[in-house]
A and B are shown apart, each in its own frame.
Chain A
Amino acid sequence: MTDQAEAPANAQTECTAATGNSESRNRLIPYAVLCELTHRCPLQCPYCSNPIELERASREIDTDTWKSVLSQAVDMGILQAHFSGGEPTVRKDLEEMVEHASKAGLYTNLITSGVLLTPARLDRLREAGLDHVQVSFQDTESENADRIAGFRGHAKKQEAARMVRAADLPLTVNAVMHRQNLHHLEAMIAMAVELDAERLEVAQVQYYGWALKNRQAFLPTRDQLDEATRIVEEARVRLKGILAIDYVVPDYYARRPKSCMGGWGRQFLNITPAGKVLPCHAAESLDFLEFENVTERPLAWIWEHSSAFNRFRGTDWMPEPCRSCDRREIDWGGCRCQAFALTGDPDTTDPACEFAPQRHVLEMPIGEAGGEIPEFVYRRIGNG
């Protein structure tokens, strides 16, 4: 009797296509906006989803511009606003933006490393109407976690997660997993339960931008991945109704590509610290696209009419074998950023698909998975 369409809102979530009524599908109403308030962050995680070219603080758009964007988002039918970064709590006007979004009717989510949070700040954010907090973890064990983050923050993160629950805010533990911490996956699940999280995101690293630079350091072997999948499946049964676990697998080992963002320009938009509007957080890696800015155009116009949002929207752009594939409106050709980064051709089928003509580009990294672990290229300005 129910028709529950689950729409992904964030890039690290496994994308399941929304099955809303046909009218809303035709009108393409986006579900969520990811507001990257800043690229400033005390952490230097080598898999950061920010672009290689980080925006400096002087380029960040101001409070009133963000408020205008959030109001426009509501008018477009957007339901959720994610406040992310960089580290979004670096912005002193975060509370003001959360309050504006919440009063306008948006579901508000804070995606944070937690290292700058204080109980007083969390109280103010809750008062401002914040609905949910996601705290990222690099590992369960301090030394390794701090090494991966390039910052001594693990203990503070655990404290921050407890503060979130003490403030009676719902908590998601965001665990980015890879070959250098997958052996702690069971401990990570136990930690999420112990921290009283409602939800755990087990997100295997996806290889764009910084993570692609560090692929050899992160890509697990097939056996490691299978073991992780077994652990997650067992935990999902054991913890049903206690802890919800979202699981994102590295698509190098997949037979079908992920439905990236639920399709280009279909469900989601991302706004950079400088106000550029992207179909996904990694889209600036498609360096031939021109992205419009919220300081110059209305958000709805950018969504509907900009060349970047229409470049890979729908199925008309598709090459074979996508064009005649019966999954073309399920996975939408996979990820454009990945196709471009791995093959140099943004219009080709994502190599994560077993039918992709350029599937072979995954052979080298998969063949080298489990080999020597190189030093990290840490995420920092000037290190790209």
Chain B
Amino acid sequence: MSERLLLNVDSVPRLPRHAKLRFDRARDCWIINAPERVFELDAIAGEVIQLVDGTRTLAVLVDELATKYDQAPRADIERDVTAMLQNLADKGFVIA
């Protein structure tokens, strides 16, 4: 890697090889395992991260969430999801 990844609606986010997503029954939540770190995701972040599979663009991902959670304005979902994934990208746990 030589440049900071900046996500936009056309990005196709995915987890890098060193970050492993799984559901943890003991803690009853989705977690990302990464070197020396465990990210415990809340219910909403868990929903989002399951769509981060290297096939969907961020725009498609937001569309799916907007359909599922139709009370929330799409613009709000896009802002929150982008911020969440950019935060993970800056820590090296999401790539595109």
A residues within 8 Å of B by Cβ? 1-10, 13, 18-21, 23-24, 29, 31-32, 76-77, 79-80, 105, 107, 109, 131-132, 134, 168-170, 172, 196, 198-199, 201, 240-244, 246
Contact = CB atoms under 8 A, between A and B. Distances in A.
Of the listed residues A1, A3, A8, A201, the one surrounded by the most CB atoms of chain B closer than 10 A to its CB is A1
A80 B26 CA distance: 13
B35 A1 contact: no
Contact of A198 (B2, B27, B92): B92
A8 B42 contact: no
B41 A24 contact: no
A199 B45 contact: no
Given A107-B33, A109-B35, 8 more contacts: A1-B48, A20-B40, A24-B26, A29-B26, A79-B33, A109-B36, A198-B1, A244-B91
B92 A1 contact: no
Nearest to A12: B36
A126 to B, nearest CB: 10
Nearest to A76: B26
Of the listed residues A10, A24, A198, the one surrounded by the most CB atoms of chain B closer than 10 A to its CB is A198
A170 B3 contact: no
B68 interface: no
A243 B2 CA distance: 9
Interface string B77-96: 00011001001011110000
Interface residues of B, number: 38
Interface string B25-39: 111110101111111
B39 A5 contact: yes
B24 interface: yes
A168 B17 contact: yes
7 contacts: A2-B84, A4-B39, A4-B41, A21-B28, A79-B24, A79-B31, A170-B16
Of the listed residues B24, B84, B89, the one surrounded by the most CB atoms of chain A closer than 10 A to its CB is B24
Contacts of A2: 41-42, 44-45, 84, 87
Given A109-B35, A131-B33, A5 B24 contact: no
Contacts, number: 113
Nearest to A20: B40
Contact of B40 (A3, A132, A246): A3
A21 B35 contact: no
Majority SS of interface residues in chain A?
A: loop
Contact of B36 (A18, A105, A246): A246
Nearest to B79: A1
B27 A21 contact: yes
Contacts of A241: 1, 3-5, 89-90, 92
A109 B48 CA distance: 26
A132 B28 CA distance: 25
Interface string B6-26: 000000000011101010111
Given A5-B39, A134-B35, A240 B4 contact: yes
Contacts of A31: 38
A242 B2 contact: yes
Given A24-B27, A31-B38, A241-B92, A1 B33 contact: no
Contacts of B92: 198-199, 241, 244
B44 A131 contact: no
A61 to B, nearest CB: 25
Contacts of B81: 1
Contact of A199 (B22, B26, B27, B35): B35
A256 B84 CA distance: 31
B44 A77 contact: no
B26 A172 contact: no
Nearest to A246: B36
A340 B44 CA distance: 44
Contacts of A246: 36
A20 B28 CA distance: 10
B26 A13 contact: no
Contacts of A109: 35-36
A13 B35 CA distance: 10
